[in-house]
Amino acid sequence: MMKHIFLLAFAALLLLPGKAAAQGCEEPADDDQMIKMFGYLQTEYNYQFKDEAESAFNFRRARLGATGNIPYDFSYYVLMEMSPMISGNGSAYLLDAFISYNRWEWAKISVGSFKNPFSMDLGGTACSGLHTIFRSRAVDQFIVPQRDMGLMILGGNRETFLQYRVAFMNGVGTLNHENNNKKDFVGRVILHPIDALYVGGSYRKAYPLADEGEERTSYALEAEFNYGNFKLLGEYIYDEGAVDRSLGGGCGGELLPIGDERKGAYVQAMYMTNLNIQPVFKYEFFDAGIDDYREDIMTFGVNYFFNDWTRLQVNYLYRAEDPTEVKDDGLYLQLQVKF
């Protein structure tokens, strides 16, 4: 009886009106567009306050993609990363490449390579839309691989009461072949009860060491509050179980040793002034769950928007490690152009 009720409820959900956004970082093409080119560049200067100061110019990201619609009810999305700073070997590589079937507004189906739909910071925020230069430490360390091959069912958008993303993924990343018959399950649900508020959560059951019978479980709780030009958002992430650190970190980040149970969180606030200047403050902590290692990070930032396509970000990161503090604060300047 319960199974029949569930099937009826799901069928009714498919018929509800609404427009589901795709899981790509870029907005989908218009209905009559067969191809839409897009991309963005993030050039950066950083100064590291170490025992011996270090500074460098580099690319944070350099991406080029295409999206479009194919009659009838199909769409595609392809995105390449060309930054030599991320690949490590100077070669461009494929980030996203998926095909979507869009007949049902509340149950669109995508198959291919796409971003892991876990957390507001990763699954809900494009790299070109981050309020600070870096993602949260917990996301970059715990939610790997950040992109993977799989199948996703999704529905809802920022205007609807409900958004959801459910994916079945290989769990080994886009640059590796599947090495077992297990599939990761990843899901994210966001509720929009009033205009100013979004609340939600994410769940992941992964099998990074499936041959050894090891599992990994992750949870996240998120909230976002908007009042005029003021925005406040935050997220808590808990992660436990087996890990495979050979999968690599987010956007080329170096993965740290972690224990059996680990957690992290962040909260950030920002205000858009009439001068297109947006002060930003972010506090986060990262608990590795091993050797009592913990990081507390504060980001003091300013974003300046020249126009809708060009943005300058200035971030100062104050890092405090425990039990042994390291001198590694940094000043970062990033200029972004979207096209």
pLDDT digits 0-9 by tens, 203-259: 999 998 866 778 999 999 999 999 999 999 999 999 999 988 887 666 657 888 999
In 3D, which of 263, 281, 261 has the Cα closest to residue 271?
281
Tell me what pLDDT residue 173 has. Answer: 87
Tell me what pLDDT residue 252 has. Answer: 59
Segment-wise mean pLDDT, segments of 10 residues, the chain, 339 residues: 39 40 70 91 95 92 95 94 75 91 95 96 94 95 93 96 97 84 95 97 91 88 98 98 80 83 98 98 97 96 98 97 92 97
In 3D, which of 170, 166, 146 has the Cα closest to residue 156?
166
SS (H, E, C) 33-100: CCCEEEEEEEEEEEEEECCCCEEEEEEEEEEEEEEEEECCCEEEEEEEECCHHHHCCCCCEEEEEEEE
Query: Alpha-carbon distance 323 to 319, whole Å?
Result: 13
Tell me what pLDDT residue 23 has. Answer: 65
Q: Given the structure tokens 């409820």, which residue do they identify?
A: 9
At residue 39's C-alpha, the angle toward residues 24 and 270, to 5°, is: 70
Tell me what pLDDT residue 5 has. Answer: 36
Say if residues 147 and 139 touch (Cβ distance below 8 Å). no
Tell me what pLDDT residue 7 has. Answer: 41
| CATH 2.40.160.10 describes domain 42-59+119-338 | yes
pTM score over 0.75: yes
Query: Alpha-carbon distance 234 to 223, whole Å?
Result: 6
Query: How many residues appear in the chain?
Result: 339
